Amino acid sequence: MHDDATQKNTLLGADELVLNMGPQHPSTHGVLRVKLKLDGERVRGTECVIGYLHRGVEKIAEHRTYQQFAPYVDRMDYVAAVSNGLGYCEAVEKLMNVEAPPRARVIRTILTELQRIASHLLWLGTHALDIGALTPLFYCMREREEILKIFEKYCGARLTTHAFRIGGLQYEAYDTLEKDVERFCKDFERRVQEYVDLLTGNSIWIGRTRGVGVLSAADCIALGASGPILRASGVKWDLRRAQPYAAYDQYKFEIPVGTNGDTYDRYMVRMEEMRQSRLICLQAIENIPAGPILGKVGKVLKPPPGEIYHSIEAPKGILGYYIVSDGTTQPYRVRIRPPSFVNLQALDKMVRGHLVADVVAIIGTLDIVLGEVDR
Amino acid sequence: MNPTVQALLQFLQTWWVELASGFVIVAAVPLVAGYVVLVERKLMADMQARLGPMRVGPHGLLQPIADAVKLLIKEDIIPDNADKVIFWLAPVVSMTAALTSMGAIAFGPAFQVARDINVGLLFIVGVSSLGLFGIVLGGWASNSHYSIIGALRSTAQLVSYETAAGLAIVSGLLLAGSLKIHAIVDAQYQNHVWFIFLAPVAFFIYAVASIAETNRAPFDLPEAESELVAGYMTEYSGFRWALYFLGEYANMIVVGAVATTLFLGGWLRPFPNVHWLNWLDVLPALFTAAVGVYCARRAGKQPVAVQTWFMWGVAWACFAVAAILAVPLFVAPLKFVVPGLHGAFWFLLKVGGYIYLFMWLRFTLPRYRFDQLMSLGWYILIPLAIVNVFCVGLAMICETEYGWNRWVALVVTTMFTLGTALFLLHLHEKRTAAASSATGVTEQPAPQDTYAG
């Protein structure tokens, strides 16, 4: 009857079904396409098809000056643009052997931690939506809006902020930045409690997340998974603590870890990370050092020939930049290690043997952004 | 005269009331369903810190009409590989089943299309579950993987939960002693109590099972948006899709009506036998008048003149309804319309409350997974429903044969049912714990391939 369909089906067992999830699908978080091999509703295998959002960001870098390329990295993980910018700016600074002044580093830390909260909020809302809880999304958006307002006040943009410059900051902090951040942080404690009330103790939520998509610590390390996924499996590895950058060495914060490495643990870890980010922000605004905001960098950036790898703890995991300079104003090569891309590899291992409904829960818990996966 | 025409006239003469009521149902249900959707969206918006539809008409009051027009003029798409006849037929089946079962519902003592069906409740439950065929056929005919998975989920879900719902209804019927709608409500009048107080567990089971039957969250797996895009409706668009949608909301009204009739005292007002509470009869009029006052107060605040007029229109309509509800109470010759009108008001209010419960749950709860849904149905609800039928029967025997006080008998048996529920839950927890430890959480660490991935 349908020839091509039957032909494809001959590759499978008679009782298996291939379901193409995406690239247009409500919960593949963008344009991810997952081919699911199903036995009834049970997943027997998956294949991720990526690249629908490929823009050649790394290649573009080779034809832009160092400063010109900075806005492009905002478009990778577009829900955590500030973190992307921080990683890139610090990598170039390292390559040029300059340091951002202390004031710039503290403000960078504040904005990056706010961005982490915003990114986790978006994750929480969409993850809950994937599992069928409609309401948390809007509560999360409400709080995220407050953060975006702070970004807008600071640099004029909300999502693709381009907030930092190589060597420090372009803009001085506006007058009420501390007050705004403080007000947000004060409110936020109560807000997080709202999400906890809605989800944490809910037996359906627990049933849908506990024991789903288990990833052991060894698996995480073998697959290169990082960020909350790694920590939920019980590995206490956070670059903010392990290789401090920006101003993280000045602040006290805890690194939450899970035990089972299932979706519920990843949920708990991210919730706690939001609280910890809030604490970091509160500590940082208490004492923002005075001084210049831009280090000694010229108008034209010409790093010495050489190569550098710098990585930061982005909201989704380890974000690394590998930059090769040939001594000109444009990088010879930029290679980016996006956390989502690497974490996505764990999908197949996590979903095997689970049901279709768990696939969306697991895609949600991986917290991928396709702009970053495809670049 | 032509004998055929004569027969037709004869037929019309005998059945014109029923035919007219049928037309009213067919015409009114889509409109009502549209406004139920609007109310749902508004309530959802309220709970989610936003406004909901605000553009079409004041506070989005004309949104359902705009939606209906949009759906009607939309391009009619039938997928190439679909089984066209069944694809065309399936939503009609779904909708027809929902509307037909509505025919046997008594909206108040006076408004009922098919009066005196001696198996009224059975008819409603039976016909409305025929709507399942619409879903299954639609899912099959679409020739899409999402649709077929949705349809299969729907089949399993309805078969499982229909059983639980049926058993819950049986406990209600034991108390009522009849399948006739009027007799059921009358039994609650005679007993001086709504059956929800006599059989609370049965009501609870019916509430849960009816949510599952109407494919509403947290049991909306057949159309789980985040998993199956739209389940069995994935390939449907335009008015065919609207038919499914209307069928679903009509079904909600049907299960609400069944629950109201059987457990919530049907069209009886609260405390119908208590004469010193007769002043409660003015509540319907007061309620509608209050809505009217609210609309009138909002009218001046509308940004556009048309909206102000519209709001005044709504307000005056509310006042008119309030007057219609109030005047017969005080004008002796019109007294005969009071039971019918007020009955309809109370009935619709209770159905509305029941549907509100559905919506509230939808906004709050995450979705069950398929295996969890099945184990909830088969391991908890169905055994509990069986025990409950047994217990209600036992209580009635204790009362009639051994002269126990009714409340003592019912409280004792209900305690027993609740104990059973706790026991079932305990077993269920043990089972899930065992299952999760078998499948994942304490998985043996396999030898690691460091170059995996």
Q: Is residue A249 part of a domain?
A: yes
Contact A325, A305 (CB under 8 A): yes
Per-residue pLDDT at B440: 46
Give how far the C-alpha of residue B426 lies from the chain's centroid of Cα atoms, to the nearest Å.
30
**So what's the pLDDT on residue A14?**
59
Interface of B with A in 352-381 (CB under 8 A): 362-372
CB atoms within 10 A of CB B3: 7
A124 and A6 co-located in one domain: no
Per-residue pLDDT band for B115 (boundaries 50, 70, 90) equals low
Looking at the structure, tell me whether residues A71 and A12 fall in a common domain: no
Instruction: Give the confidence band of B53 by pLDDT, cuts at 50, 70, 90.
Output: confident
Contact list in B for residue A207 (CB cut-off 8 A) is 368-369, 372, 432
- Check if the beta carbon of residue B247 is closer than 8 Å to that of residue B239: no
A204, A212, A222 member nearest B218 (Cβ) = A204
**Is the minimum CB–CB distance between A235 and chain B shorter than 8 Å?**
no
Can you tell me the distance from the alpha carbon of A173 to that of B411, in angstroms, rounded to the nearest whole number?
68
From chain A, the residues in CB contact with B225 under 8 A are: 26
As a whole-number percent, the residues of chain B with pLDDT over 90 amount to 2
Residue A61 belongs to some domain of the structure: no
pLDDT over 90 (residue B132): no
Helix spans in B334-405 (H): 338-364, 370-375, 382-402
| Max Cα-Cα span within chain A | 75
Q: What is the pTM of this model?
A: 0.83
Residue B338, burial from CB neighbour count under 10 angstroms (0-12, 13-18, 19+): middle
Task: Encode A143-161: b = buried (16+ Cβ within 10 Å), e = exposed.
Answer: bbebbbebbeebbeebebb
Give the closest of B146, B362, B440 to A214, CB-based: B440
| Average pLDDT, integer, range B374-400 | 86
Residues spanned by the domain of A199: 67-298+339-374
Contacts of A202 in chain B (CB under 8 A): 365-366
Q: For chain A, how many helices (H) and strands (E)?
A: 16, 8
Within-domain flag for A334: no
* pLDDT for B314: 86
pLDDT at B423: 85
Which residues of chain A have a pLDDT value below 50? Answer: 1-7, 9-11
The CATH number given to whatever domain includes residue A115 is 1.10.645.10
Residue A315 resides in a domain: no
A133 contacts B445? CB cut-off 8 A: no
A364 shares its domain with A221: yes
What pLDDT, on a 0 to 100 scale, did the predictor assign at position A13?
55
Residue at A247 is within a domain: yes
Residues A14 and A135 in one domain: no
* E strand map for B155-270: none
Mutate which: B367, B368, B432, vs A, most A CBs within 10 A: B367
- Residues in B touching A205 (Cβ below 8 Å): 366
Of A193, A190, A199, residue with least CA distance to A134: A199
| Per-residue burial over A175-196, b = 16 or more CB atoms within 10 Å of its CB, e = otherwise | eebbebbeebbeebeebbeebe
DSSP strand pairing (A42-49 vs A164-165): unpaired
Query: A325 — phi, psi (to 5°)?
Result: -110, 140
Interface confidence (ipTM) of the complex: 0.77
Compare CB distances from A357 to B146, B227, B453 and report the shortest one's residue. Answer: B227
Contact residues on chain A for B229, CB-CB shorter than 8 A: 25-26
Chain B window 399-438: which residues touch A at a Cβ cutoff of 8 Å?
A: 432, 436
Please report, for residues A161, B177, B192, B278, B349, the alpha-carbon distance to residue B275 in angstroms, rounded to integers and kept in the order given. Answer: 70, 26, 12, 5, 22
- Give the closest-approach CA distance of B372 to chain A in angstroms: 8
Return the bridge partners of A313, or none: A318
Question: From the candidates A6, A203, A204, which should be mutated to test the interface with B, based on the most B CB atoms within 10 A?
Answer: A204
B226 → closest Cβ in A142, A216, A360? A360
For residue A319, is it within any domain? no
Q: Does pLDDT of B439 surpass 70?
A: no
CB B367 within 8 A of CB B153: no
As a whole number of angstroms, the distance between CA B304 and CA A155 comes to: 37
Which member of B226, B362, B445 has the closest CB to residue A130? Answer: B226
The DSSP secondary structure of B29-46, one letter per residue, reads HHHHHHHHHHHHHHHHHH
Dist CA B156 CA B142 (whole Å): 19
- Looking at the structure, tell me whether residues A155 and A105 fall in a common domain: yes
- Most confident listed range (A85-89, A296-300, B7-11, B445-449): A85-89
Residue to substitute from B44, B369, B370, B374, interface A, most A β-carbons within 10 A: B369
Q: How many domains does chain A have?
A: 2
Q: What is the pLDDT of residue B451?
A: 46
A321 CB-near residues (< 8 Å, 6+ apart): A87, A88, A91, A308, A309, A310, A311, A334, A335, A336, A337
Residues A23 and A131 in one domain: no
Residue A212 lies in a domain: yes
B75 touches chain A (CB under 8 A): no
User: Is A359 in CB contact (< 8 Å) with chain B?
Assistant: yes
B230/B344 Cα distance (integer angstroms):
35
Would the CB atoms of B366 and A202 count as touching at under 8 Å? yes
Picking from B81, B145, B226, the nearest residue to A27 by CB comes out as B226
Question: Contact A204/B449, CB-based, under 8 Å?
Answer: no
Domain extents for chain B? 82-268+337-364
Residue B225's Cβ-side half-sphere holds a number of Cα atoms within 13 Å equal to 12
Helix (H) or strand (E) holding A61, with range, is: helix A57-61
Residue A131 lies in a domain: yes
Residues A39 and A164 in one domain: no
Residues A281 and A146 both lie in one domain: yes
Domain shared by A282 and A233, yes or no: yes
- Average pLDDT of the segment spanning B187-191: 83
- Rounded Cα–Cα distance for residues A274 and A282 (Å): 12
Maximum Cα–Cα distance for chain B, whole Å? 94
A131 Cβ under 8 Å from any chain B Cβ: yes
Q: Mark whether A24 and A123 lie in a shared domain.
A: no
